[in-house]
DNA sequence: AACTTTTGGTTAAACGTTTAACTAAAACTA
DNA sequence: TAGTTTTAGTTAAACGTTTAACCAAAAGTT
C-alpha cells in the first residue's frame, strides 16, 4: 500500500486499466479513481485543488488523468453546480466590424475567468431575437449580453430573462425601460461633436439621415442634431431630417432624395457608416465634389470608411472598450449571491475621426 | 381521480403548487409531475411525445408546463443522452464577410435540426486554435466545423478530435492529411479562370501575390497560376510570384515591391481581397491607372471590392453553399451509429466577378 | 496518557433528465 | 372464460460531477 503511488507500480496498474477500459470511449473521474484505488470524490477534489487532498495524491491524480487522456465532462459539473460557465451574446449581425470587435473583447475578458461565449445573430429580426433568447436559456447560460435588433420594441422576452434571475447586459442598442446594465457611447454628444465640426468647416445647411426614432440611440442622435443646430443658430429645416433603415441601399435612396431638393444641403451627417457609403456612391455618381460641394460624415468608424474614395469621416464607437466593460459588468454579478439589476449606464465619450469627406479647410 | 385533469380542478392544484414552489427558482419535470400526480418519467415522455402516453395526459402536461413556465434543463438531458446538441465552429475571424456568411448558413441548417452552434475565433493563431478546440471538447460539442488558422501546420490537436470520435468537418482552409470531410472551392481552377481572363484582356506580364505555400489552398492557387501561365505560353518570372501573409498591410508592401521592378507587371492577381485592397491603395497613391496600366484581381468577393474606387474584380467563394454543405455533412454523421471518417471532399466551382479593376476591353 | 486538532480522505446524496424493464388494468381473442 | 395483447403508465437506475457530512489515523497538546 505504501508503494501505491510508486511510478513503476502505477504504470502497471495503469496499463492494465487501459486495456480494460479500451472499449468504452471516454475517461471519467471514476476511471482515475479505480487506477489509484481512491474514491471518485477524492479525484474530483484533487483535480480542483481542494485543500483536503495531499500533494502526493494530487500529483498522482493529475498524472493518471493525463495518461488516460481525461477530459472533464462539463455537462455533469455544470448540472451539479447549477452553472454552465457559458455566456450568451446576441448581436444583430457579426459581419460588421463594430460587433465583431465587441465580441472579440467580451471573449477575451470572459475566457480568462473560465467562461465561454455562445454567439447568436438576430439579423435585425425580432422573431429571430426571441428564438435566440430561448436557445440561450435552453443552453442554461449564466448570463446574456445583447444588442437589440432594430425591430425590437416589445420587451417581454427580455423581461423573461430578467425574471429568471439571469444577468442581462445591453450594449449599443439598449432600452432604459428594462432597467438593466447598459454600455454605450454618448450618442447625443456625438451629434454635437459632428455638427460643431461641420460648422467649423463653414457649413450652413446640415442634413441628417438618421435611424428610426423608436430606437433609443438613433433618437438620441436626432435630438443631439437638433439641439446642436439650435446651439449654433442654424434653423432646423424639416426636409433635411430624414428617418432611414440605415442600410447601404437606403442610404442611396435618402441621399438621392436630398439631392432633389431645390435648396440642397452643404453637409450630410449619416447615422451609420453603411448608409453613408450608399450616400457616397450617389454623390460620386452625380459627380458632386466631396467635401467641397457636400461634406459627409458617417458613424461607426467601420474599416471601409478609410478604404473608399474619398475616405469618410466617422465616429469611433470604442467597440473594444464596450466589449470589455460589458464582460466586466457580467463578471461583477458572478461574485454576488443575489442578482438585483437596476438601470446602470456606462457611457463612453465618442471620438470623431476626420477624414477627406469633411475636411475642407486645411 | 377521474376528474383529475378537469380544468377547474387542475387550476386549483396548480395555484396551490405555485405558492409552494415560489421560493425555488426553476421549474423541473418533477414539479409538473407533482401537480398532476403522475411520475416524472411520464412527464418526460409526454413532453417528448412518446407513444406510450395518452393524448389526454400529454395535453395536461403541456398545459401545466406552460403555466409553470417550464424550461427544460438542457444540461441534464444532454448528460443523460450523452449528446449536447451543440456544434463547435472555429474560424480565423468572424469579421470577414466570407466567414460570417458561412457561419450564418451553418447556423440556419443546424438550427432546424435542433442543434445550436458555438462560434470561436482563432485570430489566425495556432495557440488560440488549440485553446478553442479544448474549449469545444470541454463543452461536449457533438461535432466541430473548422477552417484552420494560417499558422497551423501541426495537426495533433485535430487528431485528438478525431480520436474522440467527434465528427470533424473542415472548410476553406483544410488539410488532406487529416482524412476528414472537406468543403471548399476549386482553388487551382480559380487561378486558371483568373489568368485566362487577364490574358483575354491582353495582359502579358501577370504577377501573383499569393499566400503561404504551406497552406494548401494557397499552394493550389499558386500551382494553378503557374500552370495557367504555361498553358498560355507565358514565361514564369520568379520576381512576379510573391508569398505574402495577405493582410491589407502586407498587400501594400508586396505591391510596392512589384512597382520597384525594372520590368513591371501589367496585371496582378492577389490571393485575398484584403491584400488586394492594400495593393489598390498603393497603385492609387502612385497614380497608376487601373486597369489600363496595371489590372488587378482579388479573391473572395468581399463586399468592399464593390465599394472602393475602382471596384475590384474578384472570385466568389460561394460562402453560403459552403456553410450549408458543411452543416449537412455534419448532420449525415448524426444519423450513423459508428463514426468512421475518411477524406471526403466537396469541391465547388468558383466564379469570377469582373469589375472595373480588370475590365479593359469593353 | 488522555484529550483535541489536523490531515486526508470516504460515503452518499444530489443536480434534472432519460430510458430499460416492469406492471396493472383494459381491451381484445378464440 | 381464460388467455393474450395493448395501453398507459411506474420504478429505478444511469449520465459524470460536486459537496455536505462523516470518520479514522496521525499529530499535537496538556
Distance of alpha carbon B86 from alpha carbon A144, whole angstroms: 18
Tell me if A93 sits within 8 A of A78, measured CB to CB.
Answer: no
Instruction: Output the pLDDT for position B17.
Output: 53
Domain range spanning residue A302?
A: 187-318+352-358
B143 DSSP assignment: E
Same domain as A288, residue A198:
yes
Say whether pLDDT at B92 is over 60.
yes
> Best-predicted range by mean pLDDT among A262-266, A304-308, B150-154, B305-309?
A262-266
Instruction: Output the pLDDT for position A76.
Output: 95
Choosing from B72, B92, B109, the residue where a domain stops is B72
Same domain as A222, residue A103:
no
Instruction: Output the pLDDT for position A15.
Output: 59
Nearest to B74 among A26, A120, A139 (CB): A139
pLDDT tens digits for range B49-65: 999 999 999 999 999 99
Residue among B5, B25, B137 nearest A165 (CA)? B25
Pairwise pLDDT comparison (B171 vs A137), residue with the higher score: B171
Nearest to B100 among A75, A94, A307 (CB): A94
Same domain as B195, residue B314:
yes
Pairwise pLDDT comparison (A138 vs B20), residue with the higher score: A138
Instruction: Output the pLDDT for position A13.
Output: 57
B108 falls within a domain: yes
Half-sphere exposure of A7 (CA within 13 A, CB side): 1
pLDDT tens digits for range A174-220: 878 889 999 999 999 999 999 999 999 999 999 999 999 988 999 99
Same domain as A192, residue A304:
yes
| Chain B residues whose beta carbon lies within 8 Å of the beta carbon of residue A139 | 74, 86, 116
Min distance A2 CA to chain B CA atoms (Å): 35
Choosing from B72, B96, B117, the residue where a domain stops is B72
Cβ contacts below 8 Å, chain A against chain B, sum to: 100
Beta-carbon separation of A307 and B119 below 8 A: no
Nearest to B103 among A94, A117, A281 (CB): A94
Task: Write out the E strands in A156-307.
Answer: 168-171, 181-185, 206-210, 241-243, 267-270, 295-297
- Weakest mean pLDDT among B134-138, B194-198, B219-223, B289-293: B134-138
Q: How far is the CA of B31 from the C1' of D29 (A)?
A: 54
Say whether pLDDT at B195 is over 90.
yes
Q: 467635401: which residue's cell?
A: A291
Average pLDDT over residues B42-54: 96
B348 falls in which pLDDT band (50, 70, 90)? very high
Cβ neighbors of B312 (< 8 A, separation 6 or more) are B273, B276, B277, B280, B296, B297, B298, B305, B306, B355, B356, B357
Distance of alpha carbon A313 from alpha carbon A355, whole angstroms: 4
Using DSSP's 3-state secondary structure scheme, residue B282 falls into: helix
Domain holding B343: CATH number? 3.40.50.2300
Same domain as B129, residue B244:
no
A77 falls within a domain: no
| Chain A residues whose beta carbon lies within 8 Å of the beta carbon of residue B121 | 104, 107
Within chain A, which residues score under 70 in pLDDT?
1-25, 337, 362
Dihedral Cα B356, A275, A168, A127, nearest 10 deg: -80
Cβ neighbors of A78 (< 8 A, separation 6 or more) are A84, A85, A140, B75
A17 falls within a domain: yes
Number of domains in chain B: 3
pLDDT tens digits for range A275-316: 999 999 999 989 999 999 999 999 999 988 998 889 999 999
Residue among B352, B98, B357, B355 nearest B228 (CA)? B352
Half-sphere exposure of A121 (CA within 13 A, CB side): 20
CB atoms within 10 A of CB B309: 17
Q: How far is the CA of B78 from the C1' of C18 (A)?
A: 10
β-strands B314-316, B351-353 pairing: antiparallel
CB atoms within 10 A of CB B84: 23
What's the mean pLDDT when you consider all of chain B?
Answer: 90
Domain holding A43: CATH number? 1.10.260
Dihedral Cα A35, A36, A42, A48, nearest 10 deg: -80
Give A328-334's long-range contacts (Cβ < 8 A, gap of 24+). Answer: A328/A109, A329/A169, A329/A181, A329/A183, A330/A87, A330/A110, A330/A143, A330/A145, A330/A167, A330/A169, A331/A109, A331/A110, A331/A113, A333/A143, A333/A167, A334/A113, A334/A142, A334/A143, A334/A167
β-strands A351-353, A314-316 pairing: antiparallel
Distance of alpha carbon A174 from alpha carbon B19, whole angstroms: 34
A78 falls within a domain: no
Same domain as B178, residue B194:
no
B135 falls in which pLDDT band (50, 70, 90)? confident
B260 DSSP assignment: T
Instruction: Output the pLDDT for position B250.
Output: 96
Same domain as A306, residue A211:
yes
Amino acid at each position: 500500500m505504501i508503494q501505491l503511488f510508486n511510478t513503476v507500480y502505477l504504470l502497471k496498474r495503469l496499463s492494465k486499466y487501459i486495456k480494460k477500459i479500451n472499449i468504452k470511449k471516454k475517461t471519467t473521474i471514476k476511471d482515475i479513481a479505480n487506477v489509484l484505488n481512491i474514491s471518485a470524490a477524492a479525484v474530483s477534489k484533487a483535480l480542483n485543488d481542494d485543500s483536503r487532498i495531499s500533494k502526493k495524491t494530487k500529483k498522482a491524480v493529475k498524472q493518471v488523468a493525463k495518461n488516460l487522456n481525461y477530459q472533464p465532462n462539463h455537462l455533469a459539473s455544470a448540472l451539479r453546480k447549477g452553472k454552465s460557465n457559458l455566456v450568451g451574446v446576441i448581436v444583430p449581425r457579426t459581419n460588421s466590424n463594430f460587433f465583431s470587435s465587441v465580441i472579440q473583447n467580451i471573449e477575451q475578458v470572459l475566457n480568462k475567468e473560465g467562461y465561454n461565449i455562445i454567439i447568436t445573430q438576430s439579423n435585425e429580426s425580432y422573431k429571430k431575437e426571441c428564438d435566440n433568447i430561448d436557445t440561450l436559456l435552453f443552453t442554461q447560460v449564466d448570463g446574456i449580453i445583447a444588442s437589440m435588433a432594430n425591430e425590437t420594441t416589445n420587451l417581454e422576452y427580455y423581461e423573461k430573462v430578467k425574471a429568471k434571475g439571469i444577468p442581462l447586459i445591453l450594449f449599443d442598442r439598449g432600452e432604459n425601460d428594462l432597467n438593466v446594465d447598459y454600455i454605450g457611447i454618448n450618442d447625443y454628444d456625438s451629434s454635437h461633436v459632428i455638427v460643431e465640426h461641420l460648422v467649423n468647416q463653414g457649413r450652413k445647411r446640415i442634413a441628417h439621415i438618421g435611424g428610426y426614432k423608436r430606437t433609443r440611440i438613433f433618437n438620441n442622435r436626432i435630438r443631439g442634431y437638433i439641439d446642436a443646430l439650435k446651439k449654433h443658430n442654424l434653423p432646423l429645416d424639416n426636409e433635411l431630417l430624414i428617418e432611414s433603415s440605415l442600410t447601404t441601399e437606403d442610404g442611396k435612396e435618402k441621399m438621392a432624395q436630398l439631392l432633389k431638393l431645390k435648396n440642397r444641403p452643404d453637409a450630410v451627417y449619416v447615422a451609420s457608416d453603411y448608409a453613408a457609403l450608399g450616400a457616397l456612391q450617389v454623390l460620386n455618381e452625380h459627380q458632386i465634389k466631396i467635401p467641397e460641394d457636400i461634406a459627409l460624415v458617417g458613424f461607426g468608424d467601420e474599416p471601409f470608411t478609410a478604404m473608399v474614395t474619398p475616405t469618410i469621416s466617422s465616429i469611433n464607437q470604442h467597440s473594444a472598450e464596450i466589449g470589455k466593460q460589458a464582460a466586466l459588468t457580467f463578471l461583477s454579478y458572478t461574485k454576488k449571491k443575489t442578482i438585483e439589476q437596476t438601470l446602470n449606464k456606462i457611457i463612453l465619450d465618442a471620438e470623431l475621426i476626420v477624414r477627406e469627406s469633411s475636411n475642407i479647410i486645411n
